[in-house]
Amino acid sequence: MEKTDLDTMFDRRLDFPDLDARKRFTRLVGVDAAKSRLTKLLGILINPDGPAKWAAKHHPEANVLLDYLSRRPPLVVLAGDVGTGKTELAETVGDAVARQEDIGITLYPISLATRGDGKVGQITQLVTRAFDEAIHAATRLKRQKGKAGGGVILLVDEADALTQSREDAQMHHEDRAGVNAFIRGVDRLAEARLPAVVILCTNRLSAIDPAVQRRAADIFEFQRPNDAQRKIVLEGPLSEAGFTSKEIDAIVDLTGAGSKGDVGFTFSDLTQRLLPTLILDAYPERPISYNRALQLLPDIRPTPAFQARG
């Protein structure tokens, strides 16, 4: 097998804290509970010194309790429909963890090119090497006592491409081997208790191998935004454009699911399609207006719900 360099294996490597990531993380509105819970969970998995100090202060005899916590597998799954914010959260949460724990964090996003071209043994070797790199980086950051010297996040987007269920009778043997290699990689991280965690993002939780799901310290499921969440997204920018509260409520209602079972707008539909469309339509001759927004909305269709094939 030809040696694959790191730039091919990983889409890019990002170091946190990072100002741009902080801005992107802050703009993820409507999923505050998930942001807070995921930041806290990753902080505990990457830097167990934090829980140890907490226990020493509040529960000094809780040794067994802490041991259970420290043995949680370093794996988190973010699942949900397209455009619900899971990938954006996965790509930026490292900044929140870095600031919370006051340590440097490096994100290693695995490229889909890691699947190779299906040659025997190729996927297995590539996945194994990706974990080797993450383990090598995390080993240098591990400390016998005290706070970790930093942390590593290994991100797998569209995770069903690498961790699809081995229960599928039509699954290629090379893909099965790749899943086995992924599971071994997670287990290696867990056994070494390194300051590293794996995040899987998927549109199809049911397609992820059961053994992978069982190893997850937590599974976060993301839905399309409800009325309250869409209002949180739209209220700030539309208020800046001069929309009244009543007009904003009307836009919120129009971007929801229709009476005929249509899906509502996703977070990315609102922030990457609707709001930019209003700006581009008005620029540079006129201001954004509510009446014009009503004219444009019928032509801005929400992203269709993800349909699993087969």
Q: What's residue 283's pLDDT? A: 97
d(CA 123, CA 138): 23
- Cα 166 from Cα 213, distance rounded (Å): 12
- Chain CA centroid to CA 121, Å: 28
Question: What does pTM read for this prediction?
Answer: 0.87
Buried b (16+ CB within 10 A) or exposed e, 153-168: bbbbbebbbbbbbbee
pLDDT given at position 260? 47
Domain ranges of the chain: 6-222, 227-299
- Give, for all 310 residues of the chain, the pLDDT tens digit: 444 455 667 778 899 999 999 999 999 988 999 999 999 999 999 998 888 889 999 999 988 988 888 788 899 999 998 889 999 999 999 999 999 999 999 999 987 655 555 554 577 888 888 899 999 999 999 998 888 999 999 999 888 878 887 776 566 677 788 899 999 999 999 999 999 999 999 998 988 999 999 999 999 999 999 999 999 999 999 999 999 999 999 999 999 987 545 889 999 999 999 999 999 999 999 999 999 999 999 999 999 887 654 4
How many CB atoms lie under 10 A from the CB of residue 118? Answer: 11
Q: What is the tens place of the pLDDT at every residue in 1-20? A: 444 455 667 778 899 999 99
Contact 123, 175 (CB under 8 A): yes
**What string of H, E and C letters represents the secondary structure of the chain?**
CCCCCHHHHECCCEEECCHHHHHHHHCCCCCHHHHHHHHHHHHHHHCCHHHHHHHHHHCCCCHHHHHHHHCCCCEEEEEECCCCCHHHHHHHHHHHHHHHHCCCEEEEEECHHHHCCCCCCHHHHHHHHHHHHHHHHHHHHCCCCCCCCCEEEEEECCCHHHHECCCCCCCCHHHHHHHHHHHHHHHHHHHHCCCEEEEEEECCHHHECHHHHHHCCEEEEECCCCHHHHHHHHHHHHHHCCCCHHHHHHHHHHCCCCCCCCCCCCHHHHHHHHHHHHHHHHCCCCCCCHHHHHHHHHHCCCCCCCCCCC
Q: If one looks up domain 6-222 in CATH, what number appears?
A: 3.40.50.300
